[in-house]
Amino acid sequence: MTKQVLILPGDGIGPEITAEAVKVLEALKASDNLDIEMTEDLVGGAAYDVHGVPLADETMDKAQASDAVLLGAVGGYKWESLDISVRPEKGLLRLRKEMNLFANLRPAVLFPQLASASTLKPEVVAGLDILIVRELTGGIYFGQPRGIRTLENGERQGYNTYVYSESEVKRIAHVAFQAAMKRNKKLTSVDKANVLEVTEMWREVVDEIAPQYPEVEVKHMYVDNAAMQLVLNPKQFDVMVTGNMFGDILSDEASMLTGSIGMLASASLDENNKGMYEPSHGSAPDIAGQNIANPLATILSAAMMLRYSLGREDLAVKIENAISKVLDQGLRTGDIYSDGMTKVSCSEMGDAVVAAL
Amino acid sequence: MTKQVLILPGDGIGPEITAEAVKVLEALKASDNLDIEMTEDLVGGAAYDVHGVPLADETMDKAQASDAVLLGAVGGYKWESLDISVRPEKGLLRLRKEMNLFANLRPAVLFPQLASASTLKPEVVAGLDILIVRELTGGIYFGQPRGIRTLENGERQGYNTYVYSESEVKRIAHVAFQAAMKRNKKLTSVDKANVLEVTEMWREVVDEIAPQYPEVEVKHMYVDNAAMQLVLNPKQFDVMVTGNMFGDILSDEASMLTGSIGMLASASLDENNKGMYEPSHGSAPDIAGQNIANPLATILSAAMMLRYSLGREDLAVKIENAISKVLDQGLRTGDIYSDGMTKVSCSEMGDAVVAAL
Ligand SMILES: CC(C)[C@H](C(=O)O)[C@@H](O)C(=O)O
Ligand SMILES: CC(C)[C@H](C(=O)O)[C@@H](O)C(=O)O
């Protein structure tokens, strides 16, 4: 049965990088019986400019009806002064929430070919391979009440609510434990249980579930310490699990440690492995439209999509091998360029991956 | 007039490191007319073990009556299963809140003698000198309502409130702008204004104040991006200002970049420069009682205390020079030790600083 894939290029470099991933998927349709139908639609600032909202209802419906969504990136200077309720980011948040994509998997992996791109010393990051499991549909991102009110004395007050219920913590913890079982069986749960009650409960729930995975070694770490340990000794980590906001911060920190954030993919999954796939980086409005962005994170996100949502592990591996090959050939976009390598454009990189399939 | 200084050693390595700072202050009393009276009291787990609370009311009263407080560190495994309301950390939070110490200054500085201790490449961190200004008495650390409740369906739900009012943002922003004026006139305000209304308001208020400091170049940055930029290019920062929780995370990340977290001091000030001074690092229960901790962060905190709260800039400089001297002599505690240097104990380091005064 033909699987439906919704492509949402979004803003900034989004259209350029998704175009290259689409190129790769088209090639696989032709060569490898990949039975998918791709439709494209608007999200983020691009949707706001047309519809006045960062995600139109009919786009939301299409996403719900799809087997998977491949998204570029959203946001940019152009929309920064908009009210928070219609910002490009809200389109992304709506997709995550309404599709129930609670499990965000963000690998932070050092590509051996790019070892010198990291700002960290080679011995500190060589072989780095962390999986961050971030809860994506709860926490302070979605907590109510929220807003900006005027106090009696006339001053404004902004407020948000950081909230998790037991069942939300349980399901993300299970995802993380299961991921750890397939990896090195080490799980670090990150919280601020010494100050925030919501994370005190988080820690308790993780401890309650732990006996179901006796082989997994569980550690709890305060978020401030985790931010430090990632710099001091990132290789101590295997799988990390945390809430929406800490996950936002720590996954970006971790991906930057690898020096190749332009290479890092992410998957956001619901309970049935329906998912949305995006590069870990943002929309980079400063370089948009110049055909110099790195499309590999998006192409690798397409690989994750093939693996988790489309049942084509074989093609996921095929893409990953092709990317390894183009890196071995010395092809580099500007963000990962170093002396002696061959600098290529965004579309040249996409072409090279297709050729290497 | 004799100034009152309250010494709160706290837990873990706290007693060892504060003892060395006291040694230095005693030496300055003898040699340089430093007119202070020091009293010692309990905080954290040490207070809990005696009083059943992490800060006794009479200790709180003493702190209020003092001109400055010098604190070691609080917390440890021993008290981790206590209810959040009586944990060691609560003692610290109560001091901050009731003394109105809203301005937390955390320098992240690379000591030239310790350049190779960083996990980052030397060219990325050489000369690093960031000042993080963290709001310390508001935000989600103190927001109400908070707690853990049981929902109708029987499951637990944890919740905290992230809240700032305009006046709280204003006063910390002024501290940050003023600090930037004395430094390189660059201020980065960190928020998550694309998702959280409370930080949307934060950003607006910073923008409203900015025209009062026309010489300062202001930049806004999302917290996830800030966590990345600190790894990618930390030297782009001069002063960073942010709320309590983001400040907790980013200041720890920034201090670890320097490779010398055992060297970093902090000051927490009220509106009249009354303050509490602490090392940036924690209580390190794993090495407590072994006389191997690095007392320099605490001694440098004592220097900050002399500068900000006790009106003795001359003695602050004297301490800083003495520390520079002992580092030049090659003396190192274990945490900053490298080949060819002389390894010393905590108390030997304190003695060396006194000798170098
Ligand atoms: C764009 C923004 C809303 C988003 C987030 O904060 O979740 C992004 O930073 C991410 O991590 O995917
Ligand atoms: C001990 C803890 C409550 C404290 C905090 O989170 O503020 C510490 O991490 C710090 O940064 O001073």
pLDDT single digits (tens) B6-65: 999 999 999 999 999 999 999 999 999 999 999 999 999 999 999 999 999 999 999 999
pLDDT category, A115, cuts 50, 70, 90?
confident
Amino acid at B217: E
| Option in A121, A140, A200 nearest B196 (CB) | A140
What residues in B contact A196, CB-CB < 8 Å? 140-141, 146, 158, 160
Give the C-alpha separation, B251 to A58, whole Å. Answer: 44
Tokens of B104: 């937390």
What residues in A contact B248, CB-CB < 8 Å? 192, 223-224
What is the reported pLDDT for A100? Answer: 98
| Domain end residue (candidates: A208, A231, A257) | A257
What is the reported pLDDT for B115? Answer: 87
- CA-nearest of A357, A247, A328, A253 to B231 is A253
Do B288 and B337 belong to one domain? yes
Within a domain: residue A122? no
Within a domain: residue A222? yes
> B197 to chain A nearest CA, in Å?
5
- H or E element at residue A200: helix A197-209
Within a domain: residue B4? yes
Within a domain: residue A341? yes
For residue B222, the ligand 1 atom closest to its alpha carbon is 9
Mean pLDDT of all residues in A40-67: 98
What residues in B contact A200, CB-CB < 8 Å? 84, 148, 158
Mean pLDDT of all residues in B95-110: 97
Residue whose CA is at the smallest distance from ligand 2 atom 3 = B89
Q: Which residues of A make up each annotated binding site for NAD(+)? A: 76-89, 282-294
For residue B247, the ligand 2 atom closest to its alpha carbon is 11
Within a domain: residue A149? yes
Write out the residue range of the structural domain in which residue A244 sits. Answer: 129-257
Answer positive or negative: Cα dihedral of A328, A332, A338, A343: positive
> B304 to chain A nearest CA, in Å?
23
Choose the mutation target among B144, B197, B222 for the interface with A, i.e. most A CBs under 10 Å: B197
Amino acid at A311: G
Do B133 and B253 belong to one domain? yes
* Helical spans, DSSP H, in chain B: 14-32, 45-51, 57-65, 88-98, 122-125, 166-182, 197-209, 223-232, 244-257, 296-308, 313-328, 346-356
Q: A195–B155: do the CB atoms touch at under 8 Å?
A: no
Angle made by CA atoms B329, B330, B332, in degrees to the nearest 5: 125
Do A160 and A87 belong to one domain? no
Strands, sheet with B156-165, edge to edge from the N-terminal-most edge strand: A147-150, A156-165, B156-165, B147-150
Q: Is the CB of B58 under 6 A from ligand 1?
A: no
Q: What is the CATH number of the domain that holds A146?
A: 3.40.718.10
| Domain end residue (candidates: B257, B277, B309) | B257
Give the C-alpha separation, A187 to A164, whole Å. Answer: 20
> B64 to chain A nearest CA, in Å?
23
The whole-model pTM stands at 0.96
Do B238 and B282 belong to one domain? no
Within a domain: residue B294? yes
Q: How many domains does chain A have?
A: 2
For residue A194, the ligand 2 atom closest to its alpha carbon is 3
Give chain A's mean pLDDT: 97
Do A201 and A149 belong to one domain? yes
- pLDDT tens, position by position, A302-346: 999 999 999 999 999 999 999 999 999 999 999 999 999 999 999
For residue A247, the ligand 1 atom closest to its alpha carbon is 11
Do B75 and B177 belong to one domain? no
| Option in B148, B155, B230 nearest A167 (CB) | B155
pLDDT category, A81, cuts 50, 70, 90?
confident
Residue whose CA is at the smallest distance from ligand 2 atom 10 = B248
CA of A248 to the centre of ligand 1 (A): 6
Do A294 and A344 belong to one domain? yes
> A276 to chain B nearest CA, in Å?
19
Tokens of B317: 């400089």
| Option in B159, B251, B253 nearest A161 (CB) | B159
Residue whose CA is at the smallest distance from ligand 2 atom 1 = B89
What is the reported pLDDT for B327? Answer: 97
What residues in A contact B157, CB-CB < 8 Å? 163-166, 201
Annotated catalytic sites of B, by residue? Answer: 141, 192, 224, 248, 252
- Partners of residue B37 on adjacent β-strands: B4
Q: B166–A148: do the CB atoms touch at under 8 Å?
A: no
Q: A202–B245: do the CB atoms touch at under 8 Å?
A: no
Q: Is the CB of A89 under 6 A from ligand 1?
A: yes
Within a domain: residue A345? yes
- pLDDT tens, position by position, A186-213: 999 999 999 999 999 999 999 999 999 9
- CA-nearest of A177, A66, A170 to A131 is A177
Amino acid at B48: Y
Amino acid at B231: V
Q: Is B287 annotated as a binding residue?
A: yes
Within a domain: residue A116? no
Q: B158–A282: do the CB atoms touch at under 8 Å?
A: no
Mean pLDDT of all residues in B211-234: 97
Do B167 and B272 belong to one domain? no
Do B135 and B246 belong to one domain? yes
pLDDT of residue B211 exceeding 90: yes
Mean pLDDT of all residues in A245-263: 95
Tell me which ligand sits closest to the C-alpha of residue A222.
2
Do B104 and B177 belong to one domain? no
| Domain end residue (candidates: B227, B257, B287) | B257
Do B159 and B198 belong to one domain? yes
Do B140 and B223 belong to one domain? yes
What is the reported pLDDT for B198? Answer: 98
- pLDDT tens, position by position, A255-304: 999 988 899 999 999 999 999 999 999 999 999 999 999 999 999 999 99
Mean pLDDT of all residues in A120-132: 96
